[in-house]
Amino acid sequence: PNASLPEPRVGVAVFILKGRSLLLGRRRASVGNATFALPGGHLEFGESFEECAAREVKEESGLDLSKNKIDFLTATNNVFLDQPKKCHYVTIFMRVVLDAFEQQVVQNLEPEKCDGWDWYDWEHLPHPLFGPLEKMLKGGFDPFPL
């Protein structure tokens, strides 16, 4: 064990789906800088995945998911050795399906961490996607319910 390496952490990322589109924002961060990623963040002590998902989405975009069903989709293991800050995340992917007519406004509440949130059509995703997301989607993962 190398004492200079940090412990693995738990990240929670949320697929917010509306029709055939999903919410993505370009990161401003030491990990995955300038790549398009889902809203999300670090699991805090004592939190459930659902609580973390709702809290992070609210903090980052203003969207209130307190009345929505939040589902667990999958978890992936992500080791970032080629980044300015070496790190390791077990990432929990959650999903919320919004009503297609949902009119809640999306705000960029942490502009130091994100260039802005926008809806992107599943068939025309922006690039580059954040590594963990890219890897899943290339592997055929589809976040939309059947």
In the complex, the residues that contact Mg ion under the rule CB under 5 A are 41, 56
101 vs 127, which CB is nearer to ligand 8DG? 127
Window of 37-45, 66-74, 97-105, 137-145 that interacts with ligand 8DG by CB under 6 A: 37-45
Question: What six digits make up the tokens of 115?
Answer: 């260039």
Spatial neighbors of 133 by CB under 8 A, at least 6 apart, are 13, 36, 37, 38
Token duo for residue 21: 């589109």
Options 38, 53, 70, 106; binder of ligand 8DG; rule CB under 6 A: 38
Residue 13 binds to ligand 8DG (criterion: CB under 6 A): yes
143 binds ligand 8DG (CB under 6 A): no
CA atoms within 13 A on the CB side of 118: 10
Strands 21-27, 9-18: pairing is: antiparallel
Contact between 38 and 132 under an 8 Å Cβ cutoff? The reply is no
| Residue 42 makes contact with ligand 8DG by CB under 6 A | yes
**Of 89, 94, 97, 106, which one interacts with ligand 8DG (CB under 6 A)?**
89
